Amino acid sequence: MYLSVFFTLILSFVTKLTYCNERPVIGILTQEVYWSTFKNLITFNNSYIAASYVKAIEASGGRVVPVFTNRTTEYYTDVVKKVNGILVPGGSPKSAFNMTFGISQSINEIFHIAKHINDDRDRFPILGICLGFELLLIASIGGKNPLIRCNSNNVNLPLKLIPTMEEKSVLFKTMPKDIRNILLTEPVTANHHDNCVTKKNFTSMKLDHFWNPITVNKDENNLTFISTVEAKNYPFVGLQFHPEKNAYEWERNDPHSWSAVYSARYFYDWFVNECRQNKHRYIKNSMLENELIYNYPITYIGRLNSVFEQVYLFDE
């Protein structure tokens, strides 16, 4: 009897270790339309998701549902229970860093919900890109803003790995050597940001209590800024650069070489694989079908001098 119980426990443990959700669903946060270049075209829509994020998730084997802004805590709690991970995209909303409105409010809610879920040993990842990177940092220190103005817009850079952090990094510790070499030696990370977090601010504002800084870069004025962070005890990662642009955006000076596209893919592959590690799901498949991004039209706005080729538009 005791032997039977023992083997049952071992089997249960192994099952948890080897569980793989082959149909991961990722929530991507919408954000308010801000750029005047395409706001006039979409008068009846007030939020969007750039299609490049959706394409990047799909290329790595995930499906996408939009997660809307300015909703209740109950709404975001329900979302987190149904999806397998959250992607916080880059952008430039008017409400950026106002943690009570728009995408800033959304990530502030989701950050704390996801943190609580992970504390209960239910692995739930978050990936923040550019603005998403910045908002994750702000959410982790109670809404304080550690950012300073910088000049790293439309610039492609190689990453500089902080030597003491490689062994601690979930991204770099298992990264294939050829991808690592590309990222550290070639200008393949697309940067489009006017805000940066410095090492000084990272420490003085106690971000180092929650996050490990993994890579750094220098802006056009030789200011050193942190470009990759990983939470110490949670599957949360922030990238100040844009891996999705290498393959899917064509309106700026983003890198499109084979090595740029190949190395960028690693970050979304890693994230979607993390999303496969939990059992969150929709109660009914019909509910999922009603919420998938496929229910919404995609609009080409590249001709409007936009930073995006295509967007999904929403009337929230």
**Which residues are catalytic, by number?**
130, 242
Report how far residue 34's alpha carbon sits from residue 53's, in angstroms, rounded to the nearest whole number.
18
Question: Which stretches of the chain are DSSP H helices?
Answer: 2-18, 36-39, 51-59, 73-82, 102-119, 131-140, 170-173, 177-185, 199-204, 245-248, 258-275, 285-291
Q: Report the distance separating Cα 309 and Cα 305, nearest Å.
A: 9
Helix axes 102-119, 131-140, angle to 10 degrees: 60
What's the burial of 166, exposed, middle or buried (CB within 10 Å: 0-12/13-18/19+)? Answer: middle
Q: Which two tokens stand for residue 166?
A: 């490689």
DSSP symbols for 113-134: HHHHHHHTT----EEEETHHHH
Which residue carries 């971000």 as its tokens? 207
Report the chain's C-alpha Rg in angstroms. Answer: 19
Gap between the Cα atoms of 24 and 75, Å rounded:
20
Q: What's 35's DSSP letter?
A: -
Percent of the chain that is helix, strand, coil (3-state, to 5): 40, 25, 35
Amino acid letter, residue 287: M
- Measured CA to CA, the distance from residue 240 to residue 300 in angstroms comes to 25
Backbone angles phi, psi at 61, to 5 degrees: 100, 20
